Each structure stands twice: as structure tokens, then as C-alpha cells.
Chains A and B, each alone.
Chain A
């Protein structure tokens, strides 16, 4: 696994004509600071849309229930914070945001998102579990959490996290990865179909008690 350096990243973004090989990251508002020569990552900025959990008239959010999507939607609210204004993230609060930048990964690259250390030192945790698969296109969902003891202001447009890129051994038969969040232009509520899997797991439990 090779982590790509700044030079290679710039080459893939700006000097690669072949769209199957090009890495798309747009808009890069400040090339020098977002892909600085000494770095091996791209700094990404915070977008304007956020999904915030709220206390709701929902007994439990259970992926095994038929009304999961409905229950889940009830327990979150969506807010738009315009550029120039800030989202206040309270201690221990968790929100979903998205990157300002839109990505399109070629089939031989994957990536992962981590906090920028300056923000990390303030107590902000970004992207607790984000691996980006080859072929993904869309904005990146950022899971933001404030681990500090005081609220912090998050300004849309500020560099908040960084994406590292790795080369992937290319499988010639592999098609572009399908993801439920393909071509997402803003953060979306989770969409996962686990009902069938839970049914199977329940049957395992039944078999185990015999």
C-alpha cells in the first residue's frame, strides 16, 4: 500500500486527461495550502449542510424494524449554515456534515479521512470511520464530534479534515463500485438494508438454543 504524495496527487488531478485515471477533487480553492508540497494528503473544507440528532418521539432506532427509515429520519434534523456563519458544536454532540469538495476516485485509488491535527487538539473528532472505496463519487460525509468541555464554532468553508490516498491493486474485472451514496452532493441520512441479515442472525440464535 502506497500513500500518494502531493506531487502525484496534483498530477492525478490536473494533468491526467484520461477520465478513467483522473482523480477529481473540486473545487480546490487554495491549491498551495490544500495540497501543500510537504503533505501526503488533501485538506478538505466543511460544507454547509448538517444533519443533527434531536430528541424525538421515537422509542428506539432499530435497523431490524420496517419503519426504521421513518424512525431514523424523525430523530434527526437538517440545517443549512451559510458561509460566514458558524455551527455551534456542543460538548459530546455528534453531527453529520459533508465536505465542500466533490470527489471522484479512479478505480485504482482508495482513501481515508482523518481530522486535521489542529482541530483534533481542540477536541474535534472528524470522520470516525471513513474509508473511501475506489470508484466512489460524491461529497464525503463527515461524522463530527466535540470531545472537549466547551462548545466550538465550526465555520463552513474552513479546512477541517484531510484525505489520504492509497493505490489499490487493480482487479481488471472490477466495475465501478456501487454505493448507496453514489453521486451524493450533500450529506444524506444512512440508507442501509440490514433487515434480511438480521432475520438470518435471528434464525442462528434460534438454532443455537435447540
Chain B
């Protein structure tokens, strides 16, 4: 009969095997679903292979345990923990597959997103991604590869990492917007954060971010007074210490620097998104962010939305920007100007040290607008969506929509009957421009009273346009 500790070890190994079998069942369930992006299958395949290896390793350990009773328990326990922790991690990873199936994530935006990521993110390295809907009202891109690699390496399963591409992204979007293909332009902002690091834009932009020293001193003084006030008002507070000025200064400078860095990154991601998608990104941003929270309110990580709108307005329409002023029709331009006039109505902020800090950052950032435009134009040269492409395609594609057929191609030469398949950027811009300027005509055409149904039909047409254009491109490539 086995001794007590050996019995426990055997029991633990058997329990780990049970966990592994349970995970296997879950993986089978997930495997049987259909996913429009390829990422879920990649992740499930990795999990299945790892789980199989763990099951095998556990059997070997169990055999050894039964044969050689002399194995020190601690060694087994350490090896066992590494495996069970990896099992738990695999279980955790599978949350990223939920919401990525075809019922929750429409296929229409997958193809253009794939092209966009391939065009801007990868050189020769392997890459894959998951697009999934979630119940968080946010768009997010999460790079996963590095984290997964680290866990696998620590657990001693590095060999299986050949199944994981060099870059692996999980892209989240709000589930209730799954039919609204136009607002999915928000993805491009998230992608742009990745580009910000790829092009090392921080090092190009941040040296130009010069703080107003006088204002910084005023802020330090305000913090010092605030600290003293807090201390005096607390009778029994031992923790609210009066800090030396140099510590306060240090903290204020760190806080200012972090906020400037974050805001520059956000605005640069907006600028990159405009470079890659043109006005479609502006429209999506205003549509998505407009109704939420206060557009005046900044945070340490994000500038106020009004500032972002003001910046994007400058970039789209002003001289030395992207030059869309000449190609947008009057209705679309008026629409952008309307948002800008709203953005310029800045509500007076309550006087507080935090607001002094944001005001210093705002001053600094405003001086950077021109640099951001210049640098983003520089790094996206040759990859930008251009006002020329906008002017050439969008009005014709709006005609497609006005006549209730998808904007996937245009006939360029009626004599020869030549057609040209559209890029996703043109299709999305046409969708937005038509939504803003021609929606009423579309509603009349359909004769549907329910405005939601009309808008959904328009989204469906744009989505169909994206899908068809990609099918045509791939079919052409095969030929």
C-alpha cells in the first residue's frame, strides 16, 4: 500500500488529468464553431496541442510515480503545478475565442481588416488575429503573442510555440454595433497605436513637447498649498504628510510627462487613422464618441474628445493637412464644421490643481499639432488613402448606394465595359458620406417608415460592398 504522501501525489496527478480532460471537452466545443477570422482556430489549435502534451506528460508522471516510489514529492509537485497553471492559462485564453464566432462577428469587416493589418503591421513575419464582440463599449486591440510565449516558456512548453504566429492580436468591439459596419472604422485608431510604436513616433514627437515652465511652477505651488490645506484640515491624520517641495515637483513633473506622452499617442493614433482611412475615421469617431460622457473631460490617458475633433478638423481640412477640403461635398464639410464648432465651445473648467495640469498639457499639445500632422504624413507616405482616391471613387459609389446596390465596383469605361474593384477605404468613405448626405433619399427609395431598418439596410449594403470587393480581389488573384 502506498504511503500517505504518495497517495496524495497520485491523487493530485489524477485530478490534473481530469482537469485536462475537462478542458479537452471545452476545446472540442469551441472547435466545432465557425469563425470568420482565422485567429480562433490558431489559438484553439495551440491549446489542443498543448493540452494533449500535458495529458501525455501527466500519464508519464503517473506511471513513474507508480513504478518508482522514490521520486521526491516536491519535484513532482513543482512539475505538476507548472502543468496545471498552464492548463488554467489555456482555459483563460479561450475567453478570447468567445464572441468571435460567425453568429457574433459578421464577416464583412474581417477581410478589409486583414488587408489593413497585413499592409501595415507585417513585414515577413507570420501574423494572425481574432476579431470578437464583447459587452464592453469599446474598441481595443491587444497584442497577445509575447504574453503567451512567456507563460509557455516558464511552464517548459516552449516547443509548442511554433504553432503561434510572431504577431497575434485580439481585437474587441462592442457587440451591439456588430451590424454597423461604418463605425468599425474605429478599429483603425486601435491599429494606429501599434503603428505608433512600430514607427517609433514618440521619439520623433516628444522632444518637441516643451512645457511652459512658469505654469509648471504655478502648478507645483498650487499642489504644495493643497497639501498643506489637506494636512491642516485633518485633525488626526498622520498620513497626510507635508511633502518637501522637491518631492512635489518631482511628482508633478512625472504626472505632466505621463499625460503629455499619453495624449500625444492618442492624437497621433487619430492622425494615423485619418491618413489611412480619410474622413471615414472622423465620422466614425464623432458618431461613436459624441453621445458619451462629457466631450470636454480630459483624463490622464486621453485628451478631451473636443480637442481630438479640433485636431482632426485641422488635419482634414486646413492647409498643410491632408487636403480633403477640396474634395468633400458641401454637406459633408458642413457636417465636419458642425462638430468643430461644437468642439470649440469649451466649457469653463472648475479651478483645481488637476485642471491646471490639464491646461498645461493642452498648451503643450496644441504646439505639437503641426508636428504630429507632419510626422504621420511622413511615415504613411505611399500607404495613405488620398483625397484623389476619395474624389475619384466616393461620389460614384454614393450613386450605387442611392440606387440601392453595393459599392464594390465602378464601371470606368462604358465603351469597353471595364470595371474597377474598390478598396475598403473608398467603400467606407462612401458609406459615411451617403449616410450624412443622402440618407433621406435612401429612406424614400425603400419606402420603409422604420428609420432603424433603413439605416440597417444601408449598413448591409456597405458590408456587402466590402465582402464582394474582397471576393473579387481574391478571385482575380487566383486567376
Contact = CB atoms under 8 A, between A and B. Distances in A.
B403 A15 contact: no
A157 B419 CA distance: 21
Interface stretch (B223-231, B245-253, B468-476): B468-476
Given A14-B414, A178-B447, A183-B457, A104 B409 contact: no
A26 B406 contact: yes
A14 B417 contact: yes
Contact of A26 (B102, B409, B446, B463): B409
Contact of B34 (A14, A80, A185): A80
Contact of A82 (B34, B406, B408, B447): B34
Contacts of B408: 26-27
A182 B446 contact: yes
Contacts of B475: 27, 29-30
B445 A15 contact: no
Number of contact residues on A: which range applies?
Answer: 20 to 34
Nearest to B411: A14
Nearest to B468: A27
Contacts of A19: 399, 403
A157 B386 CA distance: 33
Interface string B400-423: 000111101101001101010000
A16 interface: yes
Interface in A23-44: 24, 26-27, 29-30
Nearest to A31: B417
Contacts, number: 67
A102 B406 contact: yes
A104 B400 CA distance: 10
A203 interface: no
A137 interface: yes
B80 interface: no
Interface in A176-195: 176, 178, 182-183, 185-186
B414 A17 contact: yes
Nearest to B447: A178
B414 A102 contact: no
A24 B460 CA distance: 17
Contacts of B405: 24, 26, 102, 104, 137
Interface string A80-96: 10110000000000000
B472 A27 contact: yes
A198 B250 CA distance: 81
Contacts of A17: 411, 414
Contacts of A26: 405-406, 408-409, 468
Contacts of A24: 403, 405
Interface in B448-479: 457, 460-461, 463-464, 468, 471-472, 475
A183 B446 contact: yes
Contacts of A186: 460
A74 interface: no
Nearest to B402: A19
Contacts of A10: 417
Given A15-B417, A80-B34, A82-B34, 14 more contacts: A14-B417, A14-B419, A19-B399, A24-B405, A26-B405, A29-B475, A80-B102, A100-B471, A102-B468, A104-B405, A137-B403, A178-B447, A182-B446, A185-B461
Interface of B: 34, 36, 102-103, 107, 399, 403-406, 408-409, 411, 414-415, 417, 419, 445-447, 457, 460-461, 463-464, 468, 471-472, 475
Interface of A: 10, 13-17, 19, 24, 26-27, 29-30, 48, 80, 82-83, 100, 102, 104, 137, 176, 178, 182-183, 185-186
Closest 6 CB pairs of A and B: A14-B417, A185-B460, A185-B464, A137-B404, A104-B405, A80-B102
